[in-house]
Amino acid sequence: MENTANLREWFQRVDSNNKGSITAPELKSALAVGNLEFPLSVVEQMIRMYDFDRNGTMSFQEFVALNKFLLKVQQAFSDLERGRGFLVPDDVYDSFDQKKNGRFQLDDVISLCIFLQSARNLFNSFDTAKQGRVTLDFNQLVYCAANCRI
């Protein structure tokens, strides 16, 4: 894991207006520096996942939490890719091959993990009795569909 000083330096370079928080486009640019190319919608979902204060931006502490998640996913990807630099369709469902090239690179796997984590968080918000099942009315279903897109 990168040390906190390096992360803070990276965060401050991205925080172009020095407000102590970064927006989705700023985070997208920062991730691109690390060769992680995501659609803006996925970056926005990353922010929603780690926006603990729900202000629509990412503070440094939220950025650190996202970094920990990304490092865990990167390690899982490394364990699966067998030195190829990508996963094949047998390794992951076809719907997450965003580039439709038959290969799953790290950014594709991170997108999948973000979707799954967001879906789990959303499910858990409705499963207040912790029974492993929920019943949704139409409005709740529409809300879920709008908040689980990639």
pLDDT in tens, 8-22: 988 998 898 899 999
Start-end of H helices in the chain? 4-14, 24-33, 40-50, 60-81, 106-126, 138-147
Give all domains of the chain, ordered by start, each with its CATH number: 4-147 (1.10.238.10)
Structure confidence by residue, pLDDT tens digits, 77-134: 887 787 888 887 777 655 677 777 877 788 888 888 888 888 788 788 888 887 778 7
pLDDT score, position 74? 86
Residue 70 has pLDDT above 70, yes or no: yes
CA distance 83 to 43: 27
pTM of the model: 0.68
